[in-house]
Amino acid sequence: MEIIKTWNYLRGYVIIKVEGLTLERFLNLAAAKDIYLWDIKRINHTLLEMKVSTKGFRALKEVVRKVGCRVEVLDKKGIPFLLYRLKNRKMLGFGVLIFFSIIIILSSFIWSIEIVGNETYSNEVIMELLADENIKSGIIKYNIDKNYIRSILLNELDCLSFVSVDIKGTRLIITIYEQDIPPEKLDINTPCHIVASKKGVITKAIVKNGKTMVRKGDVVKKGQILISGIIVDENTEDNILVHAEGEVLAKTRYFYRVDEPLMKVVEEETGEKMEIHEIKFGKKGIQFFKEDIPYEHYVKNTKEIKPFSGRFNLPFKLFVYEYMEVERKEVKQNIEFLKKSSYIKAIEELNKQIPREAEIQFKDVIYDVKNGILSTYVVVEVVEDIGQKQIINME
Amino acid sequence: MKSRVDDFKYNISETFELPKDIVLDLPKIIMIGDLELHISNHKGIIEYTQEALRINSNIGILKVEGTNLELKTILSEEIIVTGNIEKIEIIS
């Protein structure tokens, strides 16, 4: 029923007064003709007031004739009557139309391009690339082919592992994830040597193509040729250039040193703190409650408050500076604990340097205390592939 | 005055659990507090004033008494009465 009422409001309805003697007969006849009447009130013995839709009102004429009563229209409500009144104010309707169309048209363009997640490539490089393809602010967003942009980015820029192009409202958001730079793959037909990438002692040399220059037990320097790409042909005694292939495993050393002072200055927060609020408009800022900081030593924390959880970009920024008083104390550290923590730190660093396929043969750690500083020196010996391809230069 | 046909229809509706008001053509009266009364499947309004409303139906005349009675909706099958309802009577 309620749906019918809102529907009737849209189509327009009238409030009428019905005067007569046999009003109940009027109601029955109207109901029989499926005319929807609602909000029926009895005013006195001969008067009823009710609401009826404009369509139903026209159909009522027949009923009125049969019953013999008088019908008077009290009020007209609904959208069709509004539009009728608007006929004299055509410019208003026109203005509303222009308003909506401007909004729709303006929101069909791209007004800003955002690039997220790029580290090696600067924003300008990517924007230039897109501008070459005519993707910049001011283009119609329905014409953009997302897959095309993705393929352009993946093809032109190396070391991208994931590109996603998204259109949110009037923003074009490009999210990229980078991967490590893949090693240069040399063409299989380019002749090259395999040279040592670092110093080491050869443990094994597996040659797939080319002539081996080193044996197990040889000490090699960085840059020394391990597998040569120049082969002397047995029959013609000419030099043939090949693409050297193979694995050369050697023992190499990695070392790392950590220095830690024995007496450490520890800063402990006492709990006293002071807050200063600031509003920044661009570069200028106004600070509230600015006083001189009474603490001798303190730590400053800057927090930015984002109202509306950062969804809107407001023209100003709110900062809260927290000054927390700290006390400096000199604490003598436990040597054993220090040794262990330095060792762990050194091992962590070394693990980052050592390539994954390498095998660790040997680990050694030396501790030395001098002038109140504990030096931890960790040496790790690994077996790894030190081969690196180098193109043969033709002179 | 239940005729044999009515008896038979009653039994059928009981066994198959069909809605009785459709099978037997009876009015359905739904009352919400003392504010609203829905009467469906009626046969016409006999009298309507602010204090009394009489509706014809298969089971007889339904008389609703109260104050400030208003007819919210009239359709050919349903009537919704609102107001302060005090008494409902079935006069057969």
Residues from chain B that touch A37, judged by Cβ atoms under 8 A, are: 71, 73-74
DSSP A116-182: ES-SSS-HHHHHHHHHHTT-STTSBGGG--HHHHHHHHHHHSSSEEEEEEEEETTEEEEEEEE-PPP
Nearest CA in chain A to B56: A28
pLDDT at A243: 81
| pLDDT tens per residue across span A124-133 | 877 887 887 7
State whether B73 and A37 contact (CB < 8 Å): yes
Give how far A81 is from chain B: nearest CA, Å.
23
Q: How confident is the model at residue A311 (pLDDT cuts 50, 70, 90)?
A: low
CA distance B88 to B92: 13
Tokens at B41, concatenated: 């499947």
Among B47, B69, B74, the residue with its CB nearest the CB of A31 is B74
Residues from chain A that touch B75, judged by Cβ atoms under 8 A, are: 31, 34, 36
A351: CB partners within 8 A, 6+ apart: none
The ipTM of this complex is 0.79
What would the mean pLDDT of A63-85 be, rounded to a whole number? 85
- DSSP state for residue A109 in the 8-state scheme: B
Give how far A84 is from chain B: nearest CA, Å.
28
What would the mean pLDDT of A204-212 be, rounded to a whole number? 84
Question: CB of A323 within 8 A of CB of A273?
Answer: yes
Question: CB of B74 within 8 A of CB of A37?
Answer: yes
pLDDT at A290: 67
Most distant CA pair in chain A: distance in Å? 131
| pLDDT tens per residue across span A241-278 | 778 888 888 888 888 888 877 777 777 777 777 777 87
Residues from chain A that touch B46, judged by Cβ atoms under 8 A, are: 24
What would the mean pLDDT of A273-289 be, rounded to a whole number? 75
Question: Based on the number of CB atoms within 10 Å of its own CB, is B69 exposed (0-12), middle (13-18) or buried (19 or more)?
Answer: buried
| pLDDT tens per residue across span A76-95 | 888 888 888 878 888 888 89
State whether A36 and B80 contact (CB < 8 Å): no
Residues from chain A that touch B48, judged by Cβ atoms under 8 A, are: 23-24, 27, 40, 42
Q: Give the type of residue at A105.
A: I
Per-residue pLDDT for A98 more than 90?
Answer: yes
**Residues of B within an 8 Å Cβ radius of A:** 44-50, 69-76, 80
Determine phi and psi for A334, rounding to 5 degrees. Answer: -75, 120
State whether A45 and B49 contact (CB < 8 Å): yes
Of A4 and A95, more confident: A95
State whether B72 and A38 contact (CB < 8 Å): yes
Unique residue bearing structure tokens 């400096």: A328
pLDDT at A180: 66
**H/E segment holding residue A332:** strand A316-332
State whether B75 and A34 contact (CB < 8 Å): yes
Question: CB of A260 within 8 A of CB of A338?
Answer: yes
Which residues in chain B come in under a pLDDT of 70?
1-2
Q: How confident is the model at residue A148 (pLDDT cuts 50, 70, 90)?
A: confident
Tell me the average pLDDT of chain A: 80
State whether A37 and B70 contact (CB < 8 Å): no
Q: What angle do helix axes A23-32 and A54-67 make, rounded to 10 degrees? A: 130
Question: Based on the number of CB atoms within 10 Å of its own CB, is B57 exposed (0-12), middle (13-18) or buried (19 or more)?
Answer: buried
pLDDT at A395: 47
Q: Across-strand partners of A53? A: A13
Residues from chain B that touch A30, judged by Cβ atoms under 8 A, are: 74
What would the mean pLDDT of A199-228 be, rounded to a whole number? 84
Q: What angle do helix axes A90-106 and A79-86 make, rounded to 10 degrees? A: 110
pLDDT at B90: 93
pLDDT at A187: 63
Nearest CA in chain A to B82: A39
pLDDT at A185: 64
What would the mean pLDDT of A22-46 be, rounded to a whole number? 86
**Sign for the pseudo-dihedral over CA of A308, A312, A316, A322:** positive
What would the mean pLDDT of A170-186 be, rounded to a whole number? 75
Among B69, B72, B76, the residue with its CB nearest the CB of A31 is B76
What would the mean pLDDT of A202-231 be, rounded to a whole number? 84
Tokens at A174, concatenated: 């490009």
